[in-house]
Amino acid sequence: MDYPLVSIITVNFDHPEVTCALLESLQHITYPKIEAIVVDNASPNDDPAIITQSFPDVKFIQSTINLGFAGGNNLGIRQAKGKYILLLNNDTEVDSGFLEPLVTKLESNNKIGAVSPKIKFYYQPDTIQFAGQAPMNPYTMRSFGFGHGAKDTGQFNRDTPTSFVHGAAMMIPMDLIKKVGLMAETYFLYYEELDWGARIIAGGYQLWYVHDSTILHKESMSTGKFSPFKTYYMNRSRILYLRRNVKGFTFFVAFLYQLFIAIPKNCLTFLLKREYGHFKAYCKAIIWHTKNLFSNNIHINPVL
- pLDDT tens across 283-293, in order? 999 999 999 99
34-52: pLDDT as tens digits:
999 999 999 999 999 999 9
Distances (CA, A) of 47 to 58, 78, 90, 119, 124: 16, 24, 15, 29, 30
Spatial contact of 253 and 137, defined as CB atoms under 8 Å apart: no
Is 90 exceeded by the pLDDT of residue 2?
Answer: no
Average pLDDT in the 132-155 region? Answer: 94
Average pLDDT, the chain: 95
User: According to the model, what pLDDT value does residue 66 have?
Assistant: 97
Cα distance between residue 114 and residue 105, in whole Å: 9
DSSP 261: I
**Contact (Cβ atoms closer than 8 angstroms) between residue 118 and residue 146:** no
End-to-end C-alpha distance for the chain, whole angstroms: 29
For residues 158 and 147, give the distance between their C-alpha atoms in angstroms, rounded to a whole number.
13
> Is pLDDT at 191 greater than 60 in this prediction?
yes
Strands 84-88 and 34-40: unpaired
Q: Please compute the mean of the pLDDT values over residues 254-280 and round it to a whole number.
A: 96
Stated length of the chain: 304
What is the per-residue pLDDT for 219? 79
- What is the pLDDT, as a whole number, of residue 223? 56
